Amino acid sequence: MPSRTPQISPRLRRTYPRLSGLDLSSSEGESLSLDDLGLESSGDRVALAFETYSREGLERALAAYGFTQRLEERVGPFELRLSCQEPFQPRLTFWSRRYHTPVADLSLRRALGAEVGFTHAAAEAPLLYVDSLLLQHPGRPFDWNRPPLPGQLHPGLSLSNDILELLHLMARRIGAEAVALMPATFAAACVYEPRYAFVDGAAQGRFSALRRAGRGWPRWLLAWAVELGCMRDEQGQPALFAPSAMISPLSRRLSRRLDTRGWHEAQRFHAKQPLTLDEEALQARFPWGRMPPGPPPERVVELLGYDPLSPASPLDEGWDRASIPLRSIAGV
């Protein structure tokens, strides 16, 4: 298996040990003593995400890692909201004060390896599971340098690598052995794939086959071809993307579970399946109404036969998937 060991930037690695448990758990106006914070027993820590983070503690960590500054450079001031009705199922919402909507939204929880398909000892391995992940810039329009991906209502923030690094640091902090998620779309899986691997070798192989079939195309266009059922297998059937669990292991025992003979054999077998693009289907189904204004690039015109006078695709209006927020079923 290609290495999926998370690569954390040196600056973040240096900052991580400088943040103490008190830095992360204390709230504004509270004393930093254990007695005053009521941290002597885990039962008293229900207001803390993963019994570790207060909202103010998360703000301190984000500022120390430099994430606060990078996000504000993109969207202006924001408010971090922590919903923690269940300590092991927190939701972090980054609410833009300029656009009055979330620019980042993460639903997290603690899970076990059995949920992603691990068995035996690995079934009990603790995971940080990303139930949903949304990153969006409501103030930026789409353009032909960055057209919309399936499911996107706004362009992204170009902060996915930052968020994934921070999730790995959080996983280490709470004792998880991996970060796990389930990408909702092929486009989301492409974002995660440099750091994450599919738990199922066959799913990894099918993903690789789709990537290989679209080699040389803009990735966003391949994502639409997959989403619209325009990739075909040898029998002419749609080669669809099926959501499947992905993980980025932090422990050796989970890394070994993705490096077995069976995993590699399944990956190689499915990666070799020849796939082709049904260009006529893509031309007929392409949602021009969701694309940026103005003529598309020449390569897109060649593939899609762009005609500015042709009627919009019937998928453009009332297309259900377009109104669904990206979930993980984690999207970016």
Residue of 28, 27, 63, 21 lying closest to 42 (CA atoms): 21
Tens digit of each residue's pLDDT (9 = 90 or more) over 248-307: 999 999 999 999 999 999 999 999 999 999 999 999 999 999 999 888 888 888 888 776
pLDDT higher at 201 or 318: 201
Q: What percent of the chain has pLDDT over 70?
A: 85
Q: Which range is least confidently modeled, 91-95, 160-164, 308-312?
A: 308-312
Asked whether residue 83 carries a pLDDT value surpassing 60, the answer given is yes
Confidence class of residue 322 from pLDDT cuts 50, 70 and 90? very low
Confidence class of residue 309 from pLDDT cuts 50, 70 and 90? low
Dist. CA 297–CA 283, nearest whole Å? 15
Sign of CA dihedral 38, 93, 173, 176: positive
Asked whether residue 315 carries a pLDDT value surpassing 50, the answer given is no
pTM over 0.85: yes
Dist. CA 16–CA 59, nearest whole Å? 14
Return the pLDDT at 227: 96
Nearby residues of 281 by Cβ (< 8 Å), 6 or more positions away: 228, 229, 230
Confidence class of residue 85 from pLDDT cuts 50, 70 and 90? confident
Specify whether the backbone of 19 is left (phi greater than 0), alpha (psi in -120 to 50) or beta.
beta
pLDDT higher at 29 or 85: 85
Tens digit of each residue's pLDDT (9 = 90 or more) over 12-38: 999 999 999 999 999 875 544 444 444
Residue that is written with structure tokens 């408010």 in the block? 79
Q: Mean pLDDT, to the nearest integer, of 45-64?
A: 91
Return the pLDDT at 332: 60
Tens digit of each residue's pLDDT (9 = 90 or more) over 123-164: 999 999 999 999 999 999 999 989 999 989 999 999 999 999
* Six-digit token string for 237: 């059937």
Return the pLDDT at 88: 97
| Summary mean pLDDT of the chain | 88
Confidence class of residue 330 from pLDDT cuts 50, 70 and 90? low
- Residue 97, exposed/middle/buried by CB under 10 A (0-12, 13-18, 19+)? exposed
Return the pLDDT at 140: 95
Return the pLDDT at 47: 79
Return the pLDDT at 321: 36
Q: What number of other Cβ atoms are within 10 A of residue 293's Cβ? A: 8
Dist. CA 303–CA 296, nearest whole Å? 11
Tell me how many degrees the CA angle 295-301-306 measures, rounded to the nearest 5: 70
Nearby residues of 227 by Cβ (< 8 Å), 6 or more positions away: 150, 185, 186, 187, 241, 321
Return the pLDDT at 182: 97
Asked whether residue 89 carries a pLDDT value surpassing 90, the answer given is yes
Radius of gyration for the chain, computed over Cα atoms and rounded to the nearest angstrom = 22
Tens digit of each residue's pLDDT (9 = 90 or more) over 175-184: 999 999 999 9
